[in-house]
Amino acid sequence: MDRRNILTLIGASSLMAACQETSSDAASGDQNPEINWRLITSWPKNFPGIGQAPEDVARMVSEMTNGKFKIKVYGAGEMAPALGVFDNVSSGAAHMGHSAAYYWKGKLAAAPFFTGVPFGMNAREMHAWIQEGGGQALWEELYAPYGVLPLAGGNTGVQMGGWFNKPIESLEDLQGLKMRIPGIAGEIWNKAGGTSVMLPGGEIFQALEKGTIDATEWLGPANDLAFGLPQIAKYYYMPGWHEPGSMLEFSINKKAFEALPSHYQFILKIACQSVADKMLNFYTAANAKALETIKSNPNVEIRQFPSVVLDKLYQMTQEVLSEMAASSDDVKKVYDSYTSFQKQAQAYNRVSEEAYYRVRTAIESIETDI
């Protein structure tokens, strides 16, 4: 038996013991038992934004329980591989995880809808669907067979289109282009003639530097700058057609969660919700500041994808989504809910957010001319 399987078995045994201990404490009348959990992530420990979210949850839970409920956070690779979060939470090796649902596409075909869909909903729309449009119930139903409870774990907002080492001026420029791009967008990239590559964040810089990949998307200016991507790629493309509002997730082992006292359950959910809201605020502020730094770099060109490329990617997105919906009842159920909510949200946004942005941009252009 290899080391990883041994750790999984040990973790599962420890989790069972922790659940029994919690139940015993509750039975004996202790309403505030001491609980110790392990939270694994797909990110480098304390990485700005996405890596800070699990740390904030651990801190809030501890503070709200007077230090009785402690959560120890492990960065990617410290306890489990970056892309092994779901399996380790499901097995009980970890009590909780922080990652992105589209990484589990090979296991759950509908999972990417709970991170982001190319040309799909933005952050506000995604969170509204989850909280008010039936998305949470579908998410829980999807994960239930694996004993995992999912919760929103933050949102990066609209991302950038990615870093490229050569300009993209036509569809021909996509042919054979190896790009780190996950989820549904990866399928679309392949369909367009490129080659999608799945890599955890911590391996992106080295892969791009060595030429293992030709391009990469990551998150946005703040995290891209932190990873040093402007040092090794010249062209920075927009918009982030592939991830217009990427939602992260907290995954919780359901047995461990149900073994918690009810007020601990409530505290944990409130902490996750608070951190989910905080993350979008962080990226709105941090990306704006980081973009100014990237703009000042004479070795970087910020460009927009040509319309012909975006039009083709959009067409292929609709084809891939239709194929996915036809592949299984589970995917179709999520797809129908997602697309229906998006249509309603877009209809309202055209007369609210979008209308306001158009007016604001037009006025700013006039003032600039003056």
pLDDT at 199 over 90: no
Q: Tell me how many degrees the CA angle 86-89-90 measures, rounded to the nearest 5.
A: 80
**What distance in Å separates the CA atoms of residue 43 and residue 202, rounded to the nearest whole number?**
7
Indicate the Cα dihedral angle 46, 48, 49, 55, nearest 10°. 20
Q: pLDDT for 84-118, tens place per residue? A: 999 999 999 999 999 999 999 999 999 999 999 99
Q: pLDDT for 286-304, tens place per residue? A: 999 999 999 999 999 999 9
pLDDT score, position 15: 45
Per-residue pLDDT, averaged over 311-335, amounts to 95
pLDDT score, position 346: 95
Alpha helices in the chain (DSSP H): 3-27, 52-64, 85-91, 123-132, 135-143, 183-191, 204-210, 221-226, 254-259, 262-295, 307-327, 329-350, 353-369
pLDDT score, position 368: 52
pLDDT score, position 366: 62
pLDDT at 28 over 70: no
Is there a common fold for 3-155+245-284 and 159-242+301-327? yes
Q: State percent of the chain over pLDDT 70.
A: 90
Q: pLDDT for 205-253, tens place per residue? A: 999 999 999 999 988 999 999 999 999 999 999 999 999 999 999 999 9
pLDDT at 2 over 50: no
Give the tokens for residue 53.
């979210």
pLDDT at 19 over 60: no
Topology of domain 3-155+245-284 in CATH is D-Maltodextrin-Binding Protein; domain 2 (3.40.190)
Coil, helix or strand at residue 162 = strand
Query: Cβ–Cβ contacts within 10 Å for residue 63, how many?
Result: 12
**What distance in Å separates the CA atoms of residue 267 and residue 111, rounded to the nearest whole number?**
26
Q: What pTM, to 2 d.p., does this model score?
A: 0.86
Q: pLDDT for 139-198, tens place per residue? A: 999 999 999 999 999 999 999 999 999 999 999 999 999 999 988 999 999 999 999 998
Coil, helix or strand at residue 48 = coil
**What distance in Å separates the CA atoms of residue 282 and residue 55, rounded to the nearest whole number?**
15
Q: What is the strand order of the sheet 195-197 is part of? A: 195-197, 178-180, 215-216, 162-164, 235-238, 301-304
Topology of domain 159-242+301-327 in CATH is D-Maltodextrin-Binding Protein; domain 2 (3.40.190)
Q: How confident is the prediction for the chain on average, in pLDDT?
A: 90
More confident residue, 3 or 330: 330
More confident residue, 346 or 366: 346
- Provide the residue ranges of all domains of the chain, joining segments of one domain with +: 3-155+245-284, 159-242+301-327
